[in-house]
Copies of this chain bind each other. A is one copy, B any other.
């Protein structure tokens, strides 16, 4: 390798590292948005919920900037193999992070509406466990992205089943409330929308985890069964 291309190569590595760091910063922001939305919801904290709504613009802005940075990097550096997979993984992951941001925004808006309608009402009992599971998936997915850890990524794919089970159980509980007292229907549907948003945070975290597996192993597991994923990850490294 001559001095010039070695220089270009190092420059590319630095840019790639910067890109990865920015994705993790965006991920951290989005994680905080979901946490604050849930906290604001539990506490009926209007100020905190309004902050989440306001901060969504920052999430959106980061997506636009990172998307542009990815395109410029492909055009300028023309990466191949794992480097290219890294950039396309970033392109897809930021789209999912932005959508997780949308969910935080949605939860905050529903929380504000609940605050207005039902004073003193906190849907913490129904939602806390599910929200913790989804947030843990998101955290692990970002960690898997940071450390290129396919085992952690596979764990996230597994956890999604738990969140789905938890969501079904919340829905069943709410149906019972509604049947017992039809006056709770409107409120229960709002809580159901929040539960759905939390469930979708888990879905997007799972997407990111699948991209990490693709990035590291060059293997698309989007439509594989859990057993197939476990076998693939046990193979090789």
| Interface set of A (CB-CB < 8 Å, partner B) | 57, 60-61, 63-64, 67-68, 70-71, 74-75, 78-81, 84-85, 88, 91-92, 95, 98, 171, 175, 178-179, 182, 185-186, 189, 196, 220, 222-223
With a cutoff of 8 Å between Cβ atoms, the chain B residues found around residue A92 in the complex are 91-92, 95
Nearest CB of chain B from residue A117's CB, rounded to whole Å: 14
**Contact A222 B85, CB 8 Å, known A175-B189, A178-B178, A189-B171:** no
Complex Cα gap A69–B67 (Å): 20
| B84–A75 touching, CB < 8 Å | yes
B-chain residues with CB within 8 Å of residue A171 when the two chains form the complex: 189
From the candidates B60, B75, B85, B223, name the one contacting A60 in the complex (CB within 8 A): B223
The 7 A-B pairs with the shortest beta carbon distances in the complex, nearest first, are A78-B78, A60-B223, A75-B80, A179-B182, A64-B220, A182-B182, A178-B185
Which residue on chain B has the smallest CB distance to residue A181? B182
Given contacts A75-B81, A78-B78, A84-B74, contact A63 B222 (CB under 8 A): yes
Smallest CB gap from A171: residue in B: B189
User: What B residues does A60 contact at CB under 8 A?
Assistant: 222-223
Interchain CB contact (< 8 A) of A85 among B71, B81, B179: B71
The residue in A68, A85, A185, A196 that gathers the most chain B C-beta atoms within 10 A of its C-beta is A185
Q: Which of B67, B88, B175 contacts A71 (CB 8 A)?
A: B88
Instruction: Please indicate the chain B residues that have their CB under 8 angstroms from the CB of A78 in the complex.
Output: 78
Give the residue of B81, B88, B179 whose beta carbon is less than 8 angstroms from that of A91.
B88
Judge whether A84 and B63 touch: CB under 8 Å: no
Return chain B residues, CB-CB under 8 Å to A178. 178, 182, 185
| Distance in angstroms between the alpha carbons of A67 and B221 in the assembled complex | 12
> Complex Cα distance A3/B189, Å?
66
Chain B residues near A220 (CB-CB < 8 A):
64, 67-68
> A198 vs B185: C-alpha distance in the bound complex, in angstroms?
22
Cα distance A182–B180 in the bound complex, in angstroms: 8
Which residues on the B side are within 8 Å of A67 (C-beta)?
A: 220
